[in-house]
Structure 1
Amino acid sequence: MNEKEILLQSVKDFLTLKMLKYALLPFIMSLIIMYIIFFVIAGIGVEQLGTLNIESSQTTIQNGIPHTETLQAELEGSSIIKFLMSYTLTSWLATFLIYAVGGFLTIYLSIFVAIIIIGFLTPFVLKELQKRDYMDIEMIGYSNIFSSIFLALKWGAIMIFLFFLFIPLYFIPLLNIIALNMPLYYFFHKMLTFDISSNICTKEEAKQIAFFNKNNLRIKTLLLYLISLVPFAIFFGAIFFVIYLGHTYFLEVRKIRAS
């Protein structure tokens, strides 16, 4: 198959009743989780604005002697919110910052959550693909629950490290877009390719495919990641991503075992 045929076959497989059922589960679970996370993040932002300390001082001179008076006040509860919301400009800015930051983090967290959820469904999706198109290929696999958890934690730690490492780049226009997305793309690429290869290949086959097809795989996972940045796309597209890359791995394994 060429890339066009793989893509068309992937769409065809995705639109089958069974695959759509698989797609519904991560959609519902991710939506619930992200709904909660969004309002928790937004709520934290509002709470941080809930208390504001105000301090001012004034110095006067009486009979040649300076006197300093200090005024301290604290706005608590909803007072600061009411103050901000009483002006059109501050109201817009406060609302924008709270929900823009919350929405930004929600999109990124949605990708992270969807990757974790889809990991549990990947074996079932790949077995269905095998039954439909690859009965001649045995799904051997090479991972277990402990190695999977270890690698997920390892790649997650590297992702967090990269987020901090790239902080100086966040203030450079255009470059900050790449810097913000690179850590999560790293985690996305690692997890997605591992989930699929560890269910189909032997460890040696996975290494061989990763070595000879690294650019092709990176291009595919990068395109899938960019699609994931579209709001809600990851919820519906996670199963399709597995199907699309699953076809790629099945075809490569067929070539290796036929040689």
Structure 2
Amino acid sequence: MNNFFISLKDFFTFKFLIFSLAPLIASFTLFLSLFIYLINYINNINLNEEYFNFFLGAFVLQILHIAIMLFTIAGGGFLTLHLSVFFAIIIVSFLTPFIVKEINLKHYHYCKLDEVNFIYICWLLTKLFIKFLILLFFTMIFYIIPVLNLLAPILLFFVMFYLFFNFLIHDVASSVLNKNDFLSFNPFKIKYLTCIFLFYLICNIPYLGFFLPVFFVIFLSHLLFQNELNLKIQST
């Protein structure tokens, strides 16, 4: 609980609020633009003339057109919001080294002996993303299988959490820890899983997911710094 209040206090400083606005503005602008483009594209399709010259084909496609419009209006806003959360995490990953540096200077003065190789981190996250795509592919198959399609939304929820968890924890840990400590780091401890799962649930609340990725990084930075310093004390 102490970590929460320290992180909250840090978050509401001017510098970190400025950091928070970067992913908020960038993600909201990009995905709102994509959403508007999709709506305009669907509205501008001339189904009758472009695809079929006979009445039945045009009628069927017009029905599909209406269905897509209804789906886009009903679910597009939520999809846009959900995707923007992950885009915000990607944007804030560029700010993570600066956030971690500020937290360290302000609270811990921890000296890193060596940095984690940037290429190694990119390769690690790429492998995790490929695994995510494989899991996503099999989850999509569940949607077309009767009965099993009832489980598909639950599976999708946890598949998306897999991506969220791995990107966030590895991004922050690589900025906090020494190279050797990072290579031996176990991200699947209960405290990390619990915190990031709560963050993930918060991100599914409209608008909060736009603004809070910086807070998540601040909180995890405190958690990792404290854990690292405690380990150093125990080893001496």
User: How far has the Cα of 1:161 moved from its partner?
Assistant: 1.1
More strand by share: 1
For residues 13-162 of structure 1, what are the structure 2 equivalents within 5 Å? 13-46=10-43, 50-51=46-47, 72=55, 75=58, 80=62, 95-135=69-109, 137-140=110-113, 142-162=115-135
**What amino acid does structure 2 have at the position aligned with 1:25?**
A
In structure 2, what is the Cα distance between the partners aligned to 1:42 and 1:210?
44
User: How far has the Cα of 1:134 moved from its partner?
Assistant: 0.7
User: How far has the Cα of 1:254 moved from its partner?
Assistant: 0.4
The answer on whether the counterparts of 1:140 and 1:200 sit within 8 Å (CA) in structure 2 is no
Question: Alignment length, in residue pairs?
Answer: 228
Out of 163, 187, 195, the position equivalent to 1:220 is 195
TM-score (norm 2): 0.83
User: How far has the Cα of 1:234 moved from its partner?
Assistant: 2.0
1:199-222 Cα distance to aligned partner (Å, 9 max, x none): 1112442355526x6121111111
In structure 1, what is the Cα distance between the partners aligned to 2:3 and 2:198?
15
In structure 2, what is the Cα distance between the partners aligned to 1:6 and 1:133?
12
The answer on whether the counterparts of 1:138 and 1:200 sit within 8 Å (CA) in structure 2 is no
Structure 2 residue 151 is the aligned partner of structure 1 residue 175:
yes
Match of 1:61 in 2: none
The answer on whether the counterparts of 2:42 and 2:69 sit within 8 Å (CA) in structure 1 is no
Structure 2 residue 211 is the aligned partner of structure 1 residue 236:
yes
- SS of residue matched to 1:166: helix
Pick 1 or 2: higher relative contact order, CA cutoff 8 A, min separation 6: 2
Structure 2 residue 214 is the aligned partner of structure 1 residue 251:
no
1:35-81 Cα distance to aligned partner (Å, 9 max, x none): 11222333454466x415679xxxxxxxxxxxxxxx646649xx949
The answer on whether the counterparts of 1:31 and 1:235 sit within 8 Å (CA) in structure 2 is yes
User: How far has the Cα of 1:9 moved from its partner?
Assistant: 0.9
Larger Rg: 1
User: How far has the Cα of 1:28 moved from its partner?
Assistant: 1.2
Structure 2 residue 197 is the aligned partner of structure 1 residue 200:
no
**What amino acid does structure 2 have at the position aligned with 1:34?**
F
In structure 2, what is the Cα distance between the partners aligned to 1:107 and 1:210?
31
User: How far has the Cα of 1:180 moved from its partner?
Assistant: 1.4
TM-score (norm 1): 0.76
- When structure 1 is superposed on structure 2, of 118-127 and 23-32 the one drifting more is 23-32
> For the structure 1 residues 174 and 232, does the alpha-carbon distance in structure 2 shift closer, same or farther, using more than 3 Å as the test?
farther
The answer on whether the counterparts of 1:125 and 1:242 sit within 8 Å (CA) in structure 2 is yes
In structure 2, what is the Cα distance between the partners aligned to 1:244 and 1:250?
10
The answer on whether the counterparts of 2:97 and 2:175 sit within 8 Å (CA) in structure 1 is yes
In structure 2, what is the Cα distance between the partners aligned to 1:239 and 1:131?
17
User: How far has the Cα of 1:182 moved from its partner?
Assistant: 1.8
User: How far has the Cα of 1:174 moved from its partner?
Assistant: 6.2
> For the structure 1 residues 174 and 228, does the alpha-carbon distance in structure 2 shift closer, same or farther, using more than 3 Å as the test?
farther
CA RMSD of aligned residues (A): 2.9
Identity of aligned residues (%): 29
